[in-house]
Amino acid sequence: MNLRKRHRNSSAEVHTSALNDIMFFLLLFFLIASTVTNPNVIKLMLPKSASGQSVSKKTITVSVTKDLRYYVDKKEVAIEALETTLKSYKSLATELTIVLYVDRTVAIQDVVQIMDIAQKLNIKLVLATEPKG
């Protein structure tokens, strides 16, 4: 039998200097990959239907000039006929949104009049503005 004395002062070493670069690149890869993926999206296979109806979303523009001329999708409309015109658009689309373009010199009462018509017909209304700058 070969019985030798073990060296008591020897120690085991693991050199990890090469692993630092690999860990850095892995960390960088996962940081970039996590910003690209969108965790809020759930992919679903929805059932198909032959008799289903599609929900249509439509926006129309209502413009008011400084001399109080009213336009619905570039067609001039009298203020008295504005409600009936918007009603006809409402019957064509289930979800309708009005984008309201008003000259800055128009009185607020004229704008509120259009807002009242949209509220009565249960139509969403968005006031168009220009960005500052």
In the chain, the amino acid numbered 95 is E
At 117 the pLDDT is 92
Q: What is the pLDDT of residue 11?
A: 74
| Structure-block tokens of residue 23 | 């860990």
Per-residue pLDDT of the chain in tens (133 residues, 90 and over written 9): 566 666 667 777 777 777 888 899 999 998 888 777 655 444 444 555 555 544 457 888 888 888 898 999 888 999 999 999 999 888 887 788 888 888 888 889 998 999 999 999 999 998 887 776 5
Residue 120: its pLDDT value, please? Answer: 93
Alpha carbon distance 6, 13 (integer Å):
17
Contacts of 60 (CB under 8 A, 6+ apart): 72, 73, 86, 89, 96, 97, 98, 99
C-alpha torsion sign, points 113, 119, 120, 121? positive
> Which pLDDT value is given to residue 77?
92
Burial of 114 (0-12, 13-18, 19+ CB in 10 A): buried
Nearest to 128 by CA among 103, 94, 95, 96: 103
The fold adopted by the segment(s) 57-127 is: Nucleotidyltransferase; domain 5 (3.30.420)
Closest CA to 125 of 76, 84, 86: 86
Nearest CA to 88 out of 67, 58, 66, 115 is that of: 58
Per-residue DSSP letter, 29? H
Which two three-digit tokens encode residue 104?
A: 């800055």
User: Alpha-carbon distance 55 to 99, whole Å?
Assistant: 19
pLDDT of residue 39: 56
